[in-house]
Amino acid sequence: MKKVLLMSLLASKLLAGGIFSSGYKNFGFSVNSSSSYGNNYTVIGINVNYFIIDNLSVGAGYRGWFGDKPSIYEVSIPITLYAPMGGYNPYVGVVFNRTTVDKPYEDYSVYGGRMGIAMQMGMNSFMSIGWVYEYRESESGEKISKGYPEINAGFSF
């Protein structure tokens, strides 16, 4: 009976989210490439998230676009919901980005959504792969939207 109870508690912890459980914090990083203003960039980002309840995180992130001009920097606020499925956790989320661009270009805000799958790689590490779709309206009223893949790796504590 004790073994059954212990196994039930362990299984419930795994289903509750593992490293995606309430109170956990994770730190992630990403490297990708993108183009903007007719130039190609290497985009390097860091982010931190806090799980306010099991499988729901709120975070903050920073991405710098390097390798060309104008200089571009983004600050983001993501909210992500994970579906507990053992070692694989599908996720959906929303994100708000504020982007700063060197003059003569205008700074802008972006709203979007994201979805994908996150995998626990070890006791305190994870990797995720997904798709992000963003929308913004320019100062002139032009509506701009784009989608792109995202790959992240990180550590949880």
Q: Look at the alpha carbons of 144, 150, 153, 157 in this order and tell me if their dihedral is positive or negative.
A: positive
The single-letter code of the amino acid at 63 is R
Letter for the amino acid at 15?
A: L
What is the C-alpha to C-alpha distance for residues 113 and 126, in angstroms, rounded to an integer? 20
What integer pLDDT is reported at residue 17 of this predicted model? 52
Distances (CA, A) of 130 to 115, 137, 145, 153: 5, 24, 17, 12
**In degrees, to the nearest 5, what angle opens at C-alpha 30 toward C-alphas 154 and 123?**
10
- Express each pLDDT in 66-114 by its tens digit: 999 999 999 999 999 999 887 789 999 999 999 999 989 888 899 999 9
- Which CA distances in Å does 12 have to 91, 122, 127? 19, 18, 22
Q: Cα(24)–Cα(47) distance, rounded to whole angstroms?
A: 14
Indicate the CATH number of 2-156 among 2.60.200.20, 2.40.50.200, 3.40.50.300, 2.40.160.20: 2.40.160.20
Q: Give the pLDDT score at 113.
A: 98
Residue pointed to by tokens 């490297």 = 31
Residue 118: band (very low, low, confident or very high) from pLDDT cuts 50, 70, 90: very high
Question: CA–CA separation, 65 vs 100, rounded Å?
Answer: 11
Residue spans of the domains in the chain: they are: 2-156
